Structure 1
Amino acid sequence: MMMNLLIVLIMYLAGNMIFVSKHKHLLIVLLSLEFIVLSIFFFLMMYLMMIDNNMYMLMVFLVFSVCEGVLGLSILVSMIRTHGNDYFYSYNLI
């Protein structure tokens, strides 16, 4: 059990490190956010199995994470259609 918790913690920290360091492309940022959500899902699954609770909360979490992923993908597609790429430095915020 402790080994699984360590793996989830390493996954979470790796996702955060990628999110902080690779901020040039929007696609890489979105993928790192999905990796963080995946590590939180594994942690919730282990926690709910440990306390012998039902897995209904995992389904709610998955629904919200899918909605978050679809929203990020739609923003990416609209930015690529309007600007032609996914570089952050090419966007004018004015």
Structure 2
Amino acid sequence: MSAEETTLSIEMIRWTFTIDPAHRAAIEGYLTDRGLEVMVRGEDTMVATWDEPEGEIEEVIEGMWAVAGTPFDVTHEEFHRANLLIYQDESEGEDDEKAVA
């Protein structure tokens, strides 16, 4: 197996960080304009999720720091889809088949 075959694509990124509340609206706007979903906890903790990220991740973080006027720590988590399963009730649709018969 080559390295390319075993590399999983990033399905979602989650960033958690503490910000100066004075810059909260500007940072939230910057991130949502780039397609991230932002949740605010308390006055200064933000959690941003980015589904199927495209582009340069570092550029987005640097842009966020520029909006804030200073760099700050960002906890970065990546989530990969190794399996996609759909579970269905086997009895689902049986009533429909009986009604047709």
Q: Which structure features the higher share of strand residues? A: 2
Higher helix share: 1
Rg (Cα) greater in structure: 2
